[in-house]
Amino acid sequence: MAKATKKQALGRGLSALLQETPNINSASDKNADKLVGNIIELELGLIEVNPYQPRTYFDEEALRELASSIRELGVIQPITVRKLEGNKFQLVSGERRFRASKLIGNKTVPAYIRLANDQEMLEMALVENIQRKNLDPIEVALSYQRLIDEIQLTQEELSTRVGKKRSTVTNYLRLLKLDPILQTGMRDGFISMGHGRAMINIDNTEDQLAVYEKILREKLSVRQTEDLVKSLKTGSVAKPKKKAIPAFVKNSNKEFSEFFGHKIDISVSNNGKGKISIPFHSEEDFNRIKNLLK
């Protein structure tokens, strides 16, 4: 009980310090050591969302579940914010906890205070989010690409920062070469990263989309997709050849069409048998054709 009282008193003291010295913007500022690196109860209204947040989708049901947990138990793990000018702060990590706290009407949230420039902010936000397990593969790939482009990291340096093998990083980045429709399919959970990795080896966009449609239509597994792509690459999947129309049919087709006043479809199977399809466009047209057959 004594420990809990001490923690609350500490929070109030730091909050008071924040009001008295709002212009702490660097580690060399007066009282910076007393604020930066500490946890305080921070007003939600003073916090801006993170513009570098790589997560673009927040599951509403999961957010409500988290809000219910916070209502019962409080925020167990503080969010992390960086100090801005005046009494303004910006989220580094913990946006779900921030959103859930607002959802249940909380006015404050426990927050760990730190200082960071824009580049450090971007890197912290991206790396922190990459470590989470519920990002979709494209979100992870985009986060990796941003670290490479905006922080100027090599793939080797990136793999060290995020604690992943370089081959893993490369596999994610290659997903960004897929057609946007396939990337959306991965983000929406229609296909897995394994499906996407298999289709990377297809150079032609139209072929990629054709395989994607086949995966959805026939519910192909990753292994089946890999086999299909392999067959396409080796050319062992023969495209169906159009059956040659026999001369007696070809010569008579125009005559049939002129007689019935419509383009007549005549199909012939391999054994020489076939069928004649006569279209009609209304009841009157049907009766007209019927009279021609009398």
Cite the active site residues. 95
- Sequence-separated contacts (24+) of 183-186 with Cβ below 8 Å: 183/138, 185/212, 185/216, 186/136, 186/137, 186/138
Strands 79-83 and 265-268, by their bridges, are unpaired
Q: Which two tokens stand for residue 139?
A: 């979100």
d(CA 245, CA 268): 7
Contact call for residues 31 and 104 (beta carbons, < 8 A):
no
The percent helix, strand, coil of the chain (3-state, each to 5) is 55, 10, 35
d(CA 128, CA 139): 13
HSE of 237 in the Cβ direction (CA atoms, 13 Å)? Answer: 9
